[in-house]
């Protein structure tokens, strides 16, 4: 966890992600990335030079009409004195049953993000922390290039003027392997996603492509994100 926290602090400082008195809402899906972010961001508070608070928020898509059991995460938040708020939704019903989307991931992500923004405002936060890491950034870069013919990825810090909210991504300097190590060593209560598209998305295809290319070109994801930094692409 110390390795992950070190990389997060570097990103937080480089991109001025935190201001004094911020209440940072961590979007918690239940996966390893969001839980590692929540745990580490809360721990960093103890020694970070800028004071801030942390809350956790979850949007439950209610896959197959069933509420997700966040009990273990609620227990973790209680132990760490982190306020935790859950919003139950009809996302699964709308996207998979009513609209029957052939490519549901993009729409689902946008709708969940919008609900997280609303939850931030509801609970007095104007900073939303998301659990994207370096590998996610490289995958997004390749997806934009291969599917849209565009050069870019998500930004380390994004300002949403319509709702006056900032989205921050403190784990962008950490690799997925580092996040997995941190989650395992801390025994975080990871929830297996019941999403029917889990492991079947276009992102998963690009992830596998980068994995194959990485066998011939070592540290490929680091090179992609490094190139974005050198050239100031997408605010990097």
User: What would the pLDDT profile of 90-131 be if each residue is shown by its tens digit?
Assistant: 999 999 989 888 788 888 989 999 999 999 999 999 999 999
| Residue 164 token pair | 């006056």
Location of structure tokens 């009409």: 65
Taking Cα atoms as reference points, which of 175, 135, 181, 131 lies closest to residue 25?
131
pLDDT in tens, 37-69: 999 999 999 999 999 999 999 999 999 999 999
| Residue 47 token pair | 């020694």
Taking Cα atoms as reference points, which of 151, 215, 219, 195 lies closest to residue 29?
195
- Number of Cβ within 10 Å of residue 144's Cβ equals 17
Kindly tell me if the per-residue pLDDT of 34 is higher than 80: yes
Location of structure tokens 């209440």: 23
**Which secondary structure element, helix H or strand E, spans residue 113, and what is its range?**
helix 104-122
Region 3-28: what's the mean pLDDT? 97
**Which secondary structure element, helix H or strand E, spans residue 87, and what is its range?**
strand 84-88
Secondary structure of residue 58 in the 3-state scheme: strand
Q: What kind of fold does domain 2-235 have according to CATH?
A: Rossmann fold (3.40.50)
Please tell me the pTM assigned to this model: 0.94
Q: How far apart are CA 213 and CA 220, in angstroms?
A: 8
**Which secondary structure element, helix H or strand E, spans residue 89, and what is its range?**
none
Can you list the pairs that 228-235 forms with residues at least 24 positions away whose Cβ atoms lie under 8 Å? 228/137, 228/141, 228/153, 233/151, 233/152, 233/153, 234/152, 234/153, 234/154, 234/155, 235/15, 235/155, 235/156, 235/157, 235/158
Q: How far apart are CA 75 and CA 20, in angstroms?
A: 28
pLDDT of residue 95: 92
**What single-letter DSSP state applies at residue 155?**
-
């Amino acid at each position: 966890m110390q390795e992950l926290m070190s990389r997060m602090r570097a990103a937080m400082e480089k991109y001025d992600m935190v201001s004094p008195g911020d209440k940072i809402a961590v979007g918690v899906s239940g996966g390893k990335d969001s839980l590692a972010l929540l745990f580490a961001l809360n721990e960093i508070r103890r020694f970070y030079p800028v004071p801030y608070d942390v809350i956790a928020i979850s949007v439950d898509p209610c896959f197959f009409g069933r509420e997700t059991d966040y009990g273990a995460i609620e227990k973790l938040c209680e132990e760490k004195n982190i306020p935790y708020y859950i919003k139950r939704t009809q996302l699964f019903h709308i996207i998979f049953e009513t609209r029957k989307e052939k490519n549901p991931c993009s729409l689902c992500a946008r709708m969940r993000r919008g609900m997280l923004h609303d939850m931030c405002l509801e609970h007095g936060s104007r900073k939303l922390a998301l659990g994207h890491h370096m590998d996610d950034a490289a995958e997004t870069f390749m997806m934009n290039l291969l599917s849209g013919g565009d050069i870019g990825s998500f930004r380390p810090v994004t300002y949403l003027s319509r709702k006056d909210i900032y989205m921050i991504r403190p784990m962008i300097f950490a690799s997925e392997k580092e996040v997995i190590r941190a989650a395992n060593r801390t025994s975080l209560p990871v929830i297996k996603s019941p999403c029917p598209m889990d492991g079947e998305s276009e992102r998963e295809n690009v992830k596998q492509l980068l994995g194959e290319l990485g066998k011939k070109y070592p540290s490929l994801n680091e090179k992609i994100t490094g190139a974005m930094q050198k050239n100031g692409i997408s605010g990097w």
